[in-house]
Amino acid sequence: MAMHVSGACFSVFSGSRVGNIRAVASEGFATVKTAEDKVKLGGSDLKVTKLGVGAWSWGDTSYWNNFQWDDRKMKAAKAAFDTSLDNGITFFDTAEVYGSRASFGAINSETLLGRFIKERKQRDPEVEVTVATKFAALPWRLGRQSVLAALKDSLFRLGLSSVELYQLHWAGIWGNEGFIDGLGDAVEQGLVKAVGVSNYSEKRLRNAYEKLKKRGIPLASNQVNYSLIYRKPEENGVKAACDELGITLIAYCPIAQGELLLFFLTTVLFLQPGSKPRKRNWWFHCLKLSDENQSVRLLNLCRCSHWKVYTTESTNWASRPDLHCRVSKKSPTTVEQNQGTRRELQQNFHTAYPCKFQLRVSILLFLCYKILEQPVFCGQVGLNWLLAQDNVVPIPGAKNAEQAAEFAGALGWRLTDEEVNELRSMASEIKPVVSFPLENL
């Protein structure tokens, strides 16, 4: 995962062809091996799982984790790592700047990943883990030696003698020719198996490819922001260049950090009047559903503590307090409290006031009648849509075991061409999310 910005993802889809995967996801996120062929990363000999895991949030206190890192979050991150491996996902992406020492209380993501690998290998010596990390092109770094020095520091934090993939995190203000030379040196010295770039424009990508090609070294990947609701790589020539040159596109923000919200057709999203932004989960979600059975099924999709689900007038609230209580930590615990919450909802929320800021990301309650048969959990449709684009390896960030198992459910099935095109058409009507500007350098 590279540096980027956005919000929290919910998407639903279904179909009989994926029943086994979804049954696993719905039963407490039980872990099960997902049989998936690996794919070659560009023209290199390196093979990775079709889906990876981004480790930006692990140890970070500058953007993630509400500015705090503690033992509970440490255990959750480790559970995400183990659950990913249990589900056959072995490709992990980190960077030297994730969990930077400049952030108070942070622990470097590379250090955590290295610790998790060591502990897992003690239990399972045969386990295979593919590690990708990144070089930060900071202004004071110059020349090829800075790349090698940073790589060796990363290897020390990871506790490894080499990594599978080393990437330039972004294009530097200057010195980029030397950075590319440094990547080539790292391959020749046996410190890495493959090299790539991140946030590179088409022009920079072609230049890096040609420079490495002269040394007989393939440029394996370009890691960029790419999702169903952010398709800039298709518009700026990056995706086409990757396909033409045989460079794998690694997609960070593949679910737009969650901006594929559960909202379309029968759902309506509201914002509490007077609310002010508060980090990532400042909005209040009200899903107004037309059917109680549909509501019950959707509850299984809404596992974040800040989600609250209310049904329409047709639902007998007095007999179903669990419709609310199972979703929010601050839910009412009695029928009377639940009825009071309903009155408060009617008084404080305007049903004619949709939150326009979030409206642009409301595309993945896709063919919602299918929910009544079999749901797919958060983000799986968005991830599968990317997999259907070919030559793309998504790396969603998993903060806990539930998310890791959910993401694994995007494998083992495939959207039809018709569904892929329909999703693209629907997404085209939504204002795209904002990207981190480094890709425009």
64-93 exposure pattern, b = at least 16 Cβ within 10 A, e = fewer: bbeeebeeebbebbbbbbbbbbbbbbbbbb
Q: Element (H or E) spanning 79, and its range?
A: helix 71-86
CB of 111 closer than 8 Å to CB of 144? no
How far is Cα 344 from Cα 349, in angstroms, rounded to an integer? Answer: 8
How far is Cα 242 from Cα 239, in angstroms, rounded to an integer? Answer: 5
- Which DSSP letter does residue 315 get? S
CA 293 to chain centre: 30
Residues in the chain: 441
CB of 86 closer than 8 Å to CB of 124? no
CB of 143 closer than 8 Å to CB of 177? no
How far is Cα 428 from Cα 86, in angstroms, rounded to an integer? Answer: 36
401-438 exposure pattern, b = at least 16 Cβ within 10 A, e = fewer: bbbbbbbbbbbbbbbeeebbeebeebbeebebbebbeb
Tally Cβ neighbours within 10 Å of residue 367.
Answer: 15
- State the amino acid at position 22 in one-letter form: R
Residue 109: CA count within 13 A, CB half-sphere: 31
Tally Cβ neighbours within 10 Å of residue 156.
Answer: 12
98 is catalytic: yes
Q: Which of 63, 98, 226, 310 is catalytic?
A: 98
CB of 164 closer than 8 Å to CB of 186? no
CB of 2 closer than 8 Å to CB of 223? yes
Reading the block at residue 310, the tokens are 């209310």
- State the amino acid at position 421 in one-letter form: N
Reading the block at residue 225, the tokens are 């922001």
Provide the H-helix boundaries in 169-291: 176-188, 202-213, 232-235, 238-245
Cross-strand bridge partners of residue 188: none
**Active-site residue list:** 98
